[in-house]
Amino acid sequence: MTKTTMRQRQLLTGQTLQLIQGDITQLEVDGIVNAANAHLRHGGGLAAVIARRGGKAIDQESRAWVQQHGPVTHDEPAFTSAGNLPHKYVIHAVGPVWRGGQDDEDRKLAAAVSGSLHRADQLGLSSLAFPAISTGIFRFPPKRAARVMLQAIIRYFEQHASSKLALISLVLYDAPTLEAFLQVWDAEGPPR
């Protein structure tokens, strides 16, 4: 699949935010975010694709991370090398399982996004790509996820003026999720 930039805007804080249709594993960025589970078992969805294309290193480093640090939380994403992928790192963010909005899912998703941005800053990255965290097998409604993710990204940079991140890409693979993110982008932001 080729990469198509659907929307792009420079945030008031200086970073460029993009909405892209494409394959996150093919994007030329310093790091990508994997929508992971707390035990970093990459058995399905995007996590399985990243682990397969990245090779054994990602699975081995993921197991070592959990052994050393315990299960990954929403607020504190793990990271591994990118193995055979064209990135420096994979940041493994644990998004919430959708429970109808009764389990503080918006806050947990926002924490996964801001935690990933913080981890990218710690790693010295200048570009980072996100998938639509939790919208697959975790069933988070895509429009709601788009709103939460965009707000979390904008808020992070407002609170972290010294961030060296310059490019943030939201990378959507399937047409329904892309459409949901486009609708929210066009209706609600990001601000100019």
Task: Say which amino acid occupies 45.
Answer: G
Instruction: Indicate the helix (H) or strand (E) that contains 45.
Output: helix 45-54
How many domains does the chain fold into? 1
Task: Say which amino acid occupies 173.
Answer: Y
The position carrying tokens 């919208």 is: 135
Tens-level pLDDT at each residue, the chain (192 residues): 678 999 999 999 999 999 999 999 999 999 999 999 999 998 888 899 999 999 999 999 999 999 999 999 999 999 999 999 999 999 999 999 999 988 999 999 999 999 999 999 999 999 999 999 999 888 999 999 999 999 999 999 999 989 999 999 999 999 999 999 999 999 987 765
Greatest C-alpha distance within the chain: 44
Query: CA-CA distance, 150 to 17, in Å (whole number)?
Result: 9
State the pLDDT at residue 190: 75
| Strand 4-10, strand 16-21: pairing | antiparallel
**Cα-to-chain-centroid distance, residue 82:** 14
| CB burial of residue 110 (10 Å; 0-12, 13-18, 19+) | buried
The position carrying tokens 């429970």 is: 99
Residue 18: give its domain's CATH number.
3.40.220.10
> Which domain, by its residues, includes 78?
4-188
Query: CA-CA distance, 153 to 114, in Å (whole number)?
Result: 7
Instruction: Indicate the helix (H) or strand (E) that contains 181.
Output: helix 175-188
Query: CA-CA distance, 119 to 85, in Å (whole number)?
Result: 19
Query: CA-CA distance, 4 to 21, in Å (whole number)?
Result: 5
